Amino acid sequence: MNGATGVDVARAGLVNGSGTVLVTGASGLLGRAVAGDLAAAGWDVRAFQRRPSGVVGATDALGSLTDPDAVAAAVAGVDAVVHLAAKVSLAGEPADFERVNVDGTARLLEAAGAAGAARFVHVSSPSVAHAGTSIVGDGTGPADPTHARGEYARTKALGELLALAADDPAMRVVVVRPHLVWGPGDTQLVERIVERARAGRLPLLGHGQALIDSTYVDNAASAIVAALDRAPAVHGNAYVVTNGEPRTVAELLAGICRAAGVRPPAWSVPPSVARFAGGLVERAWAVRPGADEPPMTRFLAEQLSTAHWFDQRRTQHDLQWVPAVTLDEGLDRLAASYRTGAGPTVA
């Protein structure tokens, strides 16, 4: 990373909405929300992803993190970067995760530093510090690629460590780890829950009594914007972001299903059976991958049967941020989106 100069330090004092910000992964649910919030706050938003973002007020710069020329062009002249793009999947070749989540992040960090970006918000995941045991009111633990569960978590942990290592006075880096982000238009978590519930293929593990945090999309987006704004004061740190309203898996799944007008899951499977089945599915997927995500993996079984909720006091204090939308309000908005036909399209 370049050494700090008087100009670098001055640029690091940018106020929100005073320059050009690059948002990677702006075609996804959270990326679109972040880019839209930044545009509304007065930033000149450049959206970098492989297909048009559809964000009003943003200029698309199409390309991939695996393409050095596209990355260099995307960061040219930017004052800040918000990095959300990642390979997110429960299965896949390790090399594919490495190319995007590790090599792509390293390439973007180097290019952003060379371009003179003063701030960099790296969007990570709480899974980078999850070793399979319960998380009960914990803070933000260190990213641990050695013990992370699955290739996504492992490579996101490596990418986060690269981001934090790049923090210096010339480019202030903050890491934000939103947990289980959902909301209207979500074709990942919400759509898969609803689709499987409708088909009768959504069990509860251990009766769904594990207590977990989740984050409504608008809250996750506003926390990321707050991290960008607060980067000069909180750089070098990582923050888990949630709604701060832990609920049981059964309650959360039921709320999402009812919002979509489908019956909540009513049958259960012992967690040990689900983990065993997940291991079998993973081995079968490695030989003959399916068209969609695998129905169960060992990581997914752990996530659905193990408590994971977080102390939000440090996050809210340091980022000077609080979630504006409660889970119940978010579920009402999700239900309204289904009533108006704006919810995810489920076959």
Catalytic residues: 152
Strand pairing category for 247-248 and 20-24 = unpaired
Give me 214's structure tokens. 């989740």
For the chain, the first-to-last Cα distance in angstroms comes to: 48
Query: Residues 6 or more apart from 113 whose CB is under 8 A from it?
Result: 1, 2, 166, 170, 171
Contact criterion met (CB below 8 Å) for 179 and 240: yes
| Count of other CB atoms within 10 angstroms of residue 41 | 15
Give me 124's structure tokens. 């990570």
Give me 270's structure tokens. 């012992």
Q: Distance between CA atoms of 266 and 197, rounded to whole angstroms?
A: 9
φ/ψ (deg, to 5) at 267: -125, 155
